[in-house]
């Protein structure tokens, strides 16, 4: 049976799988039901199933022929702490949790490919299907690396994709080099001296000081970073006070930082610390900075990116394949897998009407029509990377 026919015939099952996963979202490192669900499907297809990596991760291994080469394909499996507003029949059954990023779809596409690969056996070598937990917040990929993922499951190359509602349906978008940003977070605490709002001269007002810090932070990207080096400094939260007649003891500023170049990343941290401390000192106060380095930038390798581009052109047509002019400022912990093995990360567009909700929106919903495309592409990619003799 042709691959396209096999995938189309499996479409009802794929939709059922996706809807089941969507209805039962789980947060990172807590995906016990999801992990068991994936493991059961892989075992039924004849895969060697390994569980427990990064607590709830699953690896399905399939061997065929005598080839020594191997490939890894990753899907993320975790959900987000968002109250769903889709009103779908299969909406989240767990209030406050939702598959708002399409990981239910990513997982389903890889399970669809798992079935096709097992039935076709049209490859020579070893395939490792990596179902990774905790992509959203807890760095599940890094935990898998620390626990020896590629020592236990050797891969000559590793691949991953993400759906993108902002790109045309079925479009493959990729680029060599940086494709997703490094992400860091700074929590600045301004230590003032509280008191009565009617007697500000007896206090050291951390709100006024914090406002000055916030405004000064806006100068970092525009005046300290080279204009050709993409970077973002976003003040996402400012917490202080409780009433109009009370000057609080402290204020907290939460800052999100995005960058690509390691030198720029260091400079951003240096300037944020300097500005916070110096601005506070100018008000006669003290500021402390808790700076968290989170995910590194996602850097695609040339050979594997070229491989995916050529395959995508054959698979979907040249009009459906684009090279991104610039990277996305979002982040992705697949970066850690790409630091240990060559590979590439790319996007698959899902925009049809233009009314689609963006990722992480409470009314977002993965487009089921992408399921056969993703499943078929992963199947062809594995077979092309591990061709039979």
Residues 43-65: tens digit of each pLDDT: 999 999 999 999 999 999 999 99
Residue 209 in this model has a pLDDT that exceeds 90: yes
pTM to 2 decimal places = 0.94
Torsion angle in degrees (nearest 10) through CA of 98, 297, 29, 375:
60
pLDDT in tens, 227-251: 999 999 999 999 999 999 999 999 9
Q: Catalytic residue among 135, 296, 380, 383, which?
A: 135
Distances (CA, A) of 144 to 13, 25, 35, 304: 29, 21, 15, 22
What percent of the chain is modeled with pLDDT above 70?
Answer: 100
List the 182-191 sheet strands across, edge first: 231-240, 250-259, 182-191, 286-293
Residue 366 in this model has a pLDDT that exceeds 70: yes
Residue 389 in this model has a pLDDT that exceeds 90: no
DSSP bridge pairs for 160: 74, 345
pLDDT in tens, 7-44: 888 999 999 999 999 999 999 999 999 999 999 999 99
Residue 6 in this model has a pLDDT that exceeds 80: no
What pLDDT is attached to residue 255?
98
Q: Catalytic residue among 26, 31, 76, 78, which?
A: 78
| CA–CA separation, 200 and 263 (whole Å) | 42
| CA–CA separation, 45 and 17 (whole Å) | 15
What pLDDT is attached to residue 1?
58
> Is 252 known to be catalytic?
no
Q: pLDDT band at 283, cuts 50/70/90? A: very high
Q: pLDDT band at 5, cuts 50/70/90? A: confident
| CA–CA separation, 373 and 166 (whole Å) | 17
The secondary element (H helix, E strand) that includes residue 120 is helix 103-120
pLDDT in tens, 245-277: 999 999 999 999 999 999 999 999 999 999 999
Q: pLDDT band at 2, cuts 50/70/90? A: confident
What percent of the chain is modeled with pLDDT above 90?
Answer: 97
Residue 4 in this model has a pLDDT that exceeds 80: no
What pLDDT is attached to residue 372?
97
What pLDDT is attached to residue 56?
98
| CA–CA separation, 213 and 275 (whole Å) | 7
Alpha helix positions (H), 260-358? 262-282, 302-316, 335-340
The vertex-336 CA angle with 330 and 337, nearest 5°, equals 115
> Is 249 known to be catalytic?
no
What pLDDT is attached to residue 383?
98
């Amino acid at each position: 049976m042709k691959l396209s026919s096999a995938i189309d015939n499996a479409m009802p099952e794929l939709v059922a799988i996706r809807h089941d996963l969507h209805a039962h979202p789980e947060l990172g490192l807590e995906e016990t039901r999801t992990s068991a669900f994936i493991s059961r499907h892989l075992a039924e297809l004849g895969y060697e199933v390994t569980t427990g990596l990064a607590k709830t991760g699953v690896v399905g291994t399939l061997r065929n022929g005598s080839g020594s080469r191997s490939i890894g394909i990753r899907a993320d499996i975790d959900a987000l702490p968002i109250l769903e507003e889709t009103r779908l029949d299969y909406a989240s059954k767990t209030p406050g949790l939702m598959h708002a990023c399409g990981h239910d779809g990513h997982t389903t596409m890889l399970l669809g490919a798992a079935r096709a690969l097992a039935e076709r056996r049209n490859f020579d070598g070893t395939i490792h299907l990596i179902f990774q937990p905790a992509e959203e917040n807890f760095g599940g990929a890094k935990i898998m690396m620390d626990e020896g993922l590629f020592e236990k499951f050797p891969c000559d190359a590793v691949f991953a994709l993400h759906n993108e509602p902002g790109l045309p349906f079925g479009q493959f978008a990729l680029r060599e080099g940086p494709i997703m940003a490094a992400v860091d977070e700074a929590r600045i605490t301004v230590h003032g001296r509280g008191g009565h709002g009617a007697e500000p001269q007896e206090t050291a007002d951390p709100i006024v000081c914090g406002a000055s810090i916030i405004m000064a932070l806006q100068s970092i990207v525009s005046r300290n970073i080279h204009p050709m080096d993409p970077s973002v400094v976003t003040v996402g939260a400012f917490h202080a006070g409780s009433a109009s007649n009370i000057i609080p003891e402290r204020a907290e500023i939460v800052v999100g930082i995005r960058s690509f170049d390691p030198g720029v990343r260091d400079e951003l941290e240096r300037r944020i610390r300097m500005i916070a401390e110096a601005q506070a000192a100018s008000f006669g106060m003290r500021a402390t900075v808790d700076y968290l380095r989170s995910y590194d930038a996602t850097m695609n390798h040339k050979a594997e990116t070229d491989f995916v581009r050529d395959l995508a052109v054959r698979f979907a047509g040249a009009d459906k394949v684009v090279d991104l002019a610039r990277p996305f400022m979002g982040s992705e912990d697949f970066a850690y897998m790409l630091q240990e093995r060559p590979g590439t990360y790319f996007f698959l567009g899902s925009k049809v009407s233009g009314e689609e909700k963006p990722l992480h929106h409470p009314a977002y919903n993965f487009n089921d029509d992408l399921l056969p495309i993703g499943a078929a592409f992963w199947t062809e990619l594995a077979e092309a990377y591990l061709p039979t003799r």
